Homo-oligomer: A and B are copies of this chain.
């Protein structure tokens, strides 16, 4: 029951608190005595309201008072207490980032880029960023909602969510400011910012077809993500347009990881030994595919062209360097942040943005070999 305080630790917080206060009568924490607005007001011979208005650049304050108060502020080294500010203003200026509970979510370049974009932009917009891991119990116990209800944050980013996360739906209903980053739910009325997977996939298909490929396989990632389905749909549509085969044998699931890419390659080669091009739903799977192809004695791109998706850092340096679709992940994060801040500030129009992607042509693709 005590967890309505979010307090699952040993001693009663209340006791700990009082003990510390007694020990240090004139409330100090880090050596520096804390100065409050009242003291500034006293020294400047004005009211606290005036000090507050000075800090907020309220036009009703005269130049003279401005300067007088600012001088005292500097002299005393006063800093407004943001807890009090937030309590009063109802804005915390903190945003939460919900990350999937993968053990290595932080070391993943995909999330890393999104996170960098979010953090940089948040900083520039005067907001702080808080990390949350979407652990099962975290979702069950509606701790997510608590984040808002208890006024921890003004808004939230959801990274790495997909159809298997029912909480998103509940959450959407609660109506707190939230934006899905780089995924979306066509039938939920949720704000989102995504990279344009469809256009990226179109470009991949264009280049492969133009290079003369006709035996093209798709290694796709988790089908529970709408973006992955988008890629699949484009693949199928373009293949059909070109009058090419696309039965189930031509696609395989690589679970978005390197080993999955290798395994999927095995499947494909098994079913279609004459494949000349593999389109992987992300770079890691593409890498796995390349490695496996080489192991199987096929040269890349000589025998088989490989195209990735994401354009993560390392892929420019592997051998052969990987042709891939660049996703502006940093920008997706940054833009999501911008829009979320606007929404927090009261903007009500739905957020749904698609950022352009582009093909990066490198060495893992070539014109289809004579032999096919």
**A residues bordering B, Cβ < 8 Å?**
1-2, 4-9, 12-14, 16-17, 19-21, 23, 27, 29-32, 34, 53, 55-58, 70, 73, 78-84, 86-87, 89-94, 103-113, 115-116, 119-120, 123-126, 128-131, 133, 135, 146, 148-152, 174-177, 313, 345-346
Which residues of the other chain, B, contact A34 by a CB distance below 8 angstroms? 149
**Of B84, B123, B125, B146, which one neighbours A133 at CB under 8 angstroms?**
B123
Contact call A81/B87, Cβ cutoff below 8 A: yes
Contact call A12/B116, Cβ cutoff below 8 A: no
Among A115, A126, A177, residue most surrounded by chain B Cβ atoms (within 10 Å): A126
In the bound complex, how far is the Cα of B77 from the Cα of A149, in angstroms? Answer: 10
In the bound complex, how far is the Cα of B124 from the Cα of A345, in angstroms? Answer: 32
**Of B7, B9, B55, which one neighbours A5 at CB under 8 angstroms?**
B55
In the bound complex, how far is the Cα of B151 from the Cα of A84, in angstroms? Answer: 9
In the bound complex, how far is the Cα of B9 from the Cα of A56, in angstroms? Answer: 12
In the bound complex, how far is the Cα of B9 from the Cα of A125, in angstroms? Answer: 6
In the bound complex, how far is the Cα of B91 from the Cα of A59, in angstroms? Answer: 34
In the bound complex, how far is the Cα of B346 from the Cα of A146, in angstroms? Answer: 28
Which residues of the other chain, B, contact A12 by a CB distance below 8 angstroms? 56-58
Measured CB to CB, the nearest residue on chain B to A152 is B82
In the bound complex, how far is the Cα of B15 from the Cα of A53, in angstroms? Answer: 11
In the bound complex, how far is the Cα of B32 from the Cα of A113, in angstroms? Answer: 34
Which residues of the other chain, B, contact A5 by a CB distance below 8 angstroms? 55-56, 80
Measured CB to CB, the nearest residue on chain B to A110 is B107
Contact call B104/A109, Cβ cutoff below 8 A: yes
Given contacts A176-B29, A346-B23, contact A56 B13 (CB under 8 A): yes
The smallest beta-carbon distance between A99 and chain B, in angstroms, is: 9
Which residues of the other chain, B, contact A80 by a CB distance below 8 angstroms? 4-5, 150
Contact call A83/B73, Cβ cutoff below 8 A: no
Which residues of the other chain, B, contact A82 by a CB distance below 8 angstroms? 6, 150-152
Measured CB to CB, the nearest residue on chain B to A3 is B126
Given contact pairs A19-B346, A87-B87, A131-B131, enumerate 18 new A-B contacts (beta carbons under 8 Å): A2-B55, A2-B57, A6-B93, A9-B126, A12-B57, A16-B346, A23-B346, A29-B148, A30-B175, A34-B149, A79-B146, A82-B152, A83-B86, A94-B130, A106-B113, A107-B109, A119-B133, A129-B131
Contact call B112/A107, Cβ cutoff below 8 A: yes
In the bound complex, how far is the Cα of B175 from the Cα of A313, in angstroms? Answer: 39
The smallest beta-carbon distance between A342 and chain B, in angstroms, is: 11
In the bound complex, how far is the Cα of B192 from the Cα of A144, in angstroms? Answer: 32
**Of B20, B109, B152, which one neighbours A128 at CB under 8 angstroms?**
B152
Contact call A83/B151, Cβ cutoff below 8 A: yes
The smallest beta-carbon distance between A146 and chain B, in angstroms, is: 6
Measured CB to CB, the nearest residue on chain B to A16 is B345
In the bound complex, how far is the Cα of B7 from the Cα of A204, in angstroms? Answer: 44
Which residues of the other chain, B, contact A9 by a CB distance below 8 angstroms? 125-126
The smallest beta-carbon distance between A324 and chain B, in angstroms, is: 16
Contact call B150/A81, Cβ cutoff below 8 A: yes
Given contacts A107-B108, A313-B104, contact A31 B91 (CB under 8 A): no
Which residues of the other chain, B, contact A92 by a CB distance below 8 angstroms? 83
8 contacts between A and B (CB under 8 A): A5-B55, A12-B57, A19-B346, A20-B345, A20-B346, A81-B151, A87-B87, A123-B135
